[in-house]
Amino acid sequence: MNRTHRHALHNHTILLLLIFYLPIQLIDINIYLVFFSYGSVQPSQPFVCLLWWFVDNGCYVLGLVLMAWLAIERHIFIFHDRWVSNRRGRFLFHYLPLIILVTYILLFYLIVVFILPCENNYLYTVPICGGSPCYESYGILGMWEFILHTTTPILLEGIASIALVLRVQIQKRRLRQSNQWRKQRRMIIQLLLISSLNIGINIPCSMLLIAHLCGVPQDYGAEAILYFYFLEYFVIFLFPFISLSQFPDLRKTMKEKIMGVVRRRLHHTAIVTHTRRDIPMNRVA
């Protein structure tokens, strides 16, 4: 991604998502692999569990919140671009919301995971050390997290994405300026691809959890929830490819680099093979 792409306002939320999904790939996934290899959390220390909870909950929730803001922000860039046409507008409607969202989520999980005065139960032989930090049953924090951090962002993202498509179609028919909308097409397609992936995986799990809160037995859909928990990692794995697929020059650069590496390896393999053929084999007496 070149300097122009990095400085474009509509790419800043994408870059933040890539940054905060990185700890999940580097820490969360690696601890999982070590757990499945040894059959327990290694090293079996409380700090490892606390770090695992912070990354698994905090970074993933921050991703959900940023995706919801990404859907809302597209409305500003497409229909209210004058709001971000000057320095004050860019700060109020672009930078300030990002600063507030990132600071709030990181501070919330730093406090509830590492500082909150409650006793955690560390289960080193269970994935994510049991996956139940004590803050989830501390007052209303568990319900606050589920409603405000998980369910609300997914619903907002879905509503904002559908509303964006409808607004674009209505405005296209009203103004009949197809050239203007072609310039925004990449942002719209990018948002729809990201939202479809995120909502398609997270909505079923959220609906099952809401059903449990409404009185449905906990055993109902328990196995399905486990599958959805693991499917959520595909949002993180596929997000870079979906978000970067809308940059033709970046695709071209990556393709050239990959093809260059393949050509060098093929050339190296051909040289090694040719050299081995020229070396005489000593016969064993």
The band of 270, judged by pLDDT with boundaries at 50, 70 and 90, is low
- Residue 221's alpha-carbon distances to 131, 153, 174, 244, 273, in angstroms, are 18, 23, 46, 35, 56
More confident residue, 60 or 223: 60
Q: Six-digit token pair at 166? A: 């409808």
| Per-residue pLDDT reduced to its tens digit, 169-198 | 887 777 665 555 666 777 788 888 888 888
Given a cut of 70, whether residue 54 has pLDDT beyond it is: yes
Whether the CB-CB separation of 109 and 135 falls below 8 Å is answered with: no
- Which two three-digit tokens encode residue 248? 């033709």
CATH of domain 3-248: 1.20.1070.10
Beta strand extents in 154-196 (DSSP E only): none
CA–CA separation, 32 vs 37, rounded Å?
9
- Per-residue confidence band for 262, with pLDDT thresholds at 50, 70 and 90: low
46: confidence class by pLDDT, cuts 50, 70, 90: very high
Q: Is 251 helix (H, G, I), strand (E, B) or coil?
A: helix
Domain ranges of the chain: 3-248
Residue 22 pLDDT > 90: yes
Handedness of CA 40, 42, 47, 49 (dihedral sign): negative
49 pLDDT above the threshold of 80: yes
Q: Collect all residues with Cβ–Cβ distance below 8 Å to 59 and sequence separation of at least 6.
A: 20, 21, 23, 24, 28
Min mean pLDDT across 126-140, 181-195, 200-214, 255-269 is at 255-269
CA distance 249 to 255: 10
SS3 letters across 194-240 = HHHHHHHHHHHHHHHHHHHHCCCCCCCCHHHHHHHHHHHHHHHHHHH
Question: Which of 27-31, 171-175, 210-214, 239-243 has the lowest average pLDDT?
Answer: 171-175
Of 3 and 158, the one with more pLDDT? 158
Cis bond leading into 217, ω under 30°?
A: no
Residue indicated by tokens 């993202």 = 157
Secondary structure element (H or E) that encloses residue 53, with its range: helix 46-53
What confidence category does residue 78 fall into, taking pLDDT thresholds of 50, 70 and 90? confident
pTM of the model: 0.83
